[in-house]
Chain A
């Protein structure tokens, strides 16, 4: 069992939709746990990261903690994959890049509709936000990009099985068209 490849996953500034899509492989998850050992991932609730063969990153980089976690994944994982639009491009969260950070925070915590106790939170335990949201390849080197919002379960499955079997990674057209 110790020989099985170790896989870790994390959601940075994402919506967990890519993780939900991973779960959409349905009963194939039983095959997957035979093929790999899960390390840190929301699926196992393991919070610390060991040395891994494969790291799947959902979400872009929006705050200091995202940077720290992403760097640790890069250090620990032999292969790192940007999964989904936010990791690849910044995605929906990057829409805030059109505005200043202070403007965004004021809208969310002070001026927005239905705000109670207005005031921008400030606590050392809350990670500081970056001025802009960035795709993950702007912070660390990335080996594969798996686009989609989210990538379909079948696309994730195709990637995982090809990668684990050491085959070249290629998708049937229906798995990578978005219209």
Chain B
């Protein structure tokens, strides 16, 4: 529970500053703590932080406006956010949202940027982008904590607990249980054990030898883009700079991805060991783990792992007793911004700012955190790197394809009997994954998330590998009972919401695509609108500032090509249809003039504009 009259805003901010420091780069972390404590960021906190950190009020307010989990006005003492990924919807989340709204006596439905807040301040209901619980949804966040496996009974019980004002720590523990659901283990998941062996080998054989092993392994980044890890480490190591940084990108925001959540739960030691090895190779003394806000519940666990490793001499000053090998890791929380999964936006966010992507070059390897050489790698990449240094490059090369060494961990969700985590050697065909997870009558697979590619059955023989189907790990399955346009609507709304707003092609294009898709859904779209969708999508791909805008139209362009009927069967007969209801647009004027004669109406045209 958030409410306690005893603590003033100023007092709380002062305590946060005393505990966590006055580095302006900690602005976002202070704001997150204030938000968690008061259910919003009061003006007094803006003033206090602005003064103490020497950042302008405008910068503070800009950060609050940017991050979806920060608010200028109070949310409910119980702040509820339903995960609104298509996989949640397929599991019935919309029905459950309506049920909860009704039980709580709220009116309407929450939408992006519009939370329903009860007038007594007890509770608010809003939406969140995919919270990474796709294999155990529908899911929600309550005061930042993940609740899984929602059904009508659970929602009923949540409504009761809220009405009774029971603090979260006295809620049934099973509400907050998050399963790992590891269904297939390969090279990486086969063995979670670690005893600092990678670090010992690094110290025994030296940084050059360790980097040579990473080079030999051919390891490529697991975040999706597939940049060669050894090259990234080498560039960073050789770049001029006073300090170097290691950043673990645990901002697993791509809809349908949840493997990092599992890795951080059961394999956190190996991930941190990978970061520490990287620090040894590049010569970094500080690292950050950027944890998405949706995984707040993992924070105590990760802090305890860090603490234990410090106690074991695997982290901190004089690692394993080696003079000069000092490295420690801070966990920074995100606050609900998809764009912060992009490495330069993530660095901006680490520096306490809005997560707007940077111009590249310079790349983070030469000018990253604090404009110093920085390695940003995905959780899975660090895990693999730790094993590569421990067991050698050839170990990883034992599996995979020419250009894609090793294995890939997939997050499988949607229409299948066994959703969860599957690790496969690169080169595995899509149909193999489908049969292993018990998917039947599959109409489509959305691979690599909302920004990824839509696969039709003609693609199911293609292989998961950088040379064919690169993926960050999201694998969402749609059987033939699904209307794929529901997926398109969901993704279009997602991208319109998640655009950082910096560049026009993405900010405006995303909204236009969403509106055109909704127009088609309403049965008012025309051929002209489909050509507009293609045109706008092409402009976004070509002219957007960063990868978000480049990939945002993929889902709609892919489905237009591969599943044209989901659009065509809804088109109006006219070659062009108005973008709004002309007659309804006269409603106010009719009311004011007190008219309802035929002349006070505009009639729809019947196909004559063709």
Q: Tell which of A4-12, A137-145, A167-175 binds the partner.
A: A137-145
- In the complex, A64 Cα to B587 Cα: how many Å? 11
B528 touches A64 (CB 8 A): no
- In the complex, A75 Cα to B602 Cα: how many Å? 16
- Which residues 56-100 of A have a CB within 8 angstroms of B? 63-64, 67-68, 71, 74-75, 100
A40 close to chain B: CB less than 8 A: no
B600 touches A128 (CB 8 A): yes
- With A101-B588, A130-B586: A141-B575 Cβ-Cβ less than 8 Å: yes
Q: Tell which of B11-19, B303-311, B591-599 binds the partner.
A: B591-599
B224 → A minimal CB distance (Å): 37
A161 close to chain B: CB less than 8 A: no
- In the complex, A22 Cα to B556 Cα: how many Å? 41
Chain B residues with Cβ below 8 Å from A120 are: 592-593
- Which residues 112-163 of A have a CB within 8 angstroms of B? 120, 122, 124, 128-132, 134, 138-141
- In the complex, A75 Cα to B575 Cα: how many Å? 13
A128 touches B575 (CB 8 A): no
Chain A residues with Cβ below 8 Å from B582 are: 67, 130, 139
Binary per-residue interface labels of chain B (573-596) against chain A in the complex, 1 for a CB within 8 Å, 0 otherwise: 001101110100111111111110
- In the complex, A67 Cα to B579 Cα: how many Å? 13
- In the complex, A105 Cα to B588 Cα: how many Å? 11
Chain B residues with Cβ below 8 Å from A74 are: 609
A1 close to chain B: CB less than 8 A: no
B27 → A minimal CB distance (Å): 33
B561 close to chain A: CB less than 8 A: no
B589 touches A131 (CB 8 A): yes
A102 close to chain B: CB less than 8 A: yes
- In the complex, A134 Cα to B528 Cα: how many Å? 18
- In the complex, A124 Cα to B595 Cα: how many Å? 8
- In the complex, A131 Cα to B609 Cα: how many Å? 24
Q: What is the size, in residues, of chain B's interface with A at 8 Å between Cβ atoms?
A: 25
Q: Which secondary structure dominates where chain A touches chain B?
A: mixed
Chain B residues with Cβ below 8 Å from A132 are: 585
A138 touches B578 (CB 8 A): yes
B6 close to chain A: CB less than 8 A: no
A122 → B minimal CB distance (Å): 4
- With A64-B602, A75-B609: A101-B597 Cβ-Cβ less than 8 Å: no
B605 close to chain A: CB less than 8 A: yes
| Identity of the chain B residue whose Cβ is nearest the Cβ of A124 in the assembled complex | B599
B233 → A minimal CB distance (Å): 46
- With A64-B602, A101-B588, A130-B589: A139-B578 Cβ-Cβ less than 8 Å: yes
Chain B residues with Cβ below 8 Å from A101 are: 588-589, 592
- Which residues 533-584 of B have a CB within 8 angstroms of A? 575-576, 578-580, 582
Contact of B580 among A100, A102, A129, A138 (CB under 8 A): A138
B579 → A minimal CB distance (Å): 4
B593 touches A128 (CB 8 A): yes
A130 touches B528 (CB 8 A): no
B237 → A minimal CB distance (Å): 46
Chain A residues with Cβ below 8 Å from B578 are: 138-140
B584 → A minimal CB distance (Å): 8
- In the complex, A74 Cα to B575 Cα: how many Å? 12
Contact of A129 among B579, B589, B608 (CB under 8 A): B589
| Identity of the chain B residue whose Cβ is nearest the Cβ of A135 in the assembled complex | B579
- With A124-B597, A130-B586, A131-B586: A75-B592 Cβ-Cβ less than 8 Å: no
| Identity of the chain B residue whose Cβ is nearest the Cβ of A100 in the assembled complex | B588
| Identity of the chain A residue whose Cβ is nearest the Cβ of B575 in the assembled complex | A141
B603 → A minimal CB distance (Å): 10
Chain A residues with Cβ below 8 Å from B605 are: 71
A93 → B minimal CB distance (Å): 14
Chain B residues with Cβ below 8 Å from A140 are: 576, 578, 609
B585 touches A130 (CB 8 A): yes
- With A139-B578, A139-B582: A128-B609 Cβ-Cβ less than 8 Å: no
| Identity of the chain B residue whose Cβ is nearest the Cβ of A126 in the assembled complex | B593
A141 touches B609 (CB 8 A): yes
B595 touches A128 (CB 8 A): yes
- Which residues 14-42 of A have a CB within 8 angstroms of B? none
- In the complex, A63 Cα to B599 Cα: how many Å? 12
Q: Lowest 7 CB-CB distances: which A-B pairs, in order?
A: A141-B576, A128-B589, A138-B579, A101-B588, A130-B585, A122-B593, A129-B589
| 19 pairs, CB–CB < 8 Å, chain A vs chain B | A64-B600, A68-B602, A75-B608, A75-B609, A102-B592, A105-B592, A120-B592, A122-B593, A122-B595, A128-B586, A128-B593, A130-B585, A130-B586, A131-B587, A131-B589, A132-B585, A134-B585, A138-B578, A141-B576
Q: A71-B609, A138-B579, A139-B579 are in contact. List 16 more A-B contacts (CB 8 A).
A: A63-B589, A67-B582, A67-B602, A68-B602, A101-B589, A102-B591, A105-B592, A122-B593, A122-B595, A124-B599, A128-B589, A130-B586, A130-B589, A134-B579, A139-B582, A140-B578
